[in-house]
Amino acid sequence: MTHLLHLDSSARRASFSRELSARYAATWPGTRTYRDLAADPVPVIGEAWTEICDAVLAAGITDPAHYADLVESPRQQEAWSIVEPLLAELLEADVVLIGAPMYNFSIPAALKLWIDQVTFPRMSLRGKAFVIAGARGGTYAPGTPRAPFDHHERYLRDFIAGHYDVDDVRFVHAELTNALVDPHLAAREAERVASRAAALAAL
């Protein structure tokens, strides 16, 4: 049976990215693990984490099952106690579903903290798939004036495909969500509604 790791990272409890990721998760036929990175944020990596990372790199270890063999000092043990359950959830998953709104042209800090904790040198996740359920206040679609400022999808796609060596990375976005609250975007409400409907249908 296939396993889904479902992550949410929006600071809003009733957010578009949460709505989208929940739609995908509701159709999942296998087992699931859920983690709310905003409600229960993971800590910032510290020096002990960097020591483990350096040891992994120096030893040329690419199999995460052997990372723990390099953990030595009490500080490193403490750092590893944070990494270990997060990494185990990631490795167990066949599909990783991430609810990720765009914040300031990029991803939420809560999501970046998780990425930092579970990422080590030359760590391949080939064979897994990633689905990103995104939401953006404006529109950053190709060909739009703000497309060059999209460091949200671009960062996640480059990182997941480039570092994790994952071929299957899919994005579904609800665009123009700020049309609900921003008077300057009020005239684009119909576009917002259509984008949300299309995203829900795609998921």
| Annotated binding-site positions | 10, 15-17, 102-105
Residue tagged 């990425």 (tokens): 115
**CB-CB contact of 137 with 177 (8 Å):** yes
- Residues annotated within a binding site for FMN: 10, 15-17, 102-105
Which has the closest alpha carbon to 25: 97, 100, 80, 77? 97
**Phi then psi dihedrals of residue 55, to 5 deg:** -65, -40
**CB-CB contact of 125 with 143 (8 Å):** no
DSSP output for 16-35:
HHHHHHHHHHHT--SEEEEE
| CA 92/CA 128 separation, integer angstroms | 10
Q: Is 190 exposed, middle or buried (0-12, 13-18, 19+ CB in 10 A)?
A: exposed
- Residues 6 or more apart whose CB falls under 8 angstroms from that of 107 comprise 9, 100, 152, 155, 156
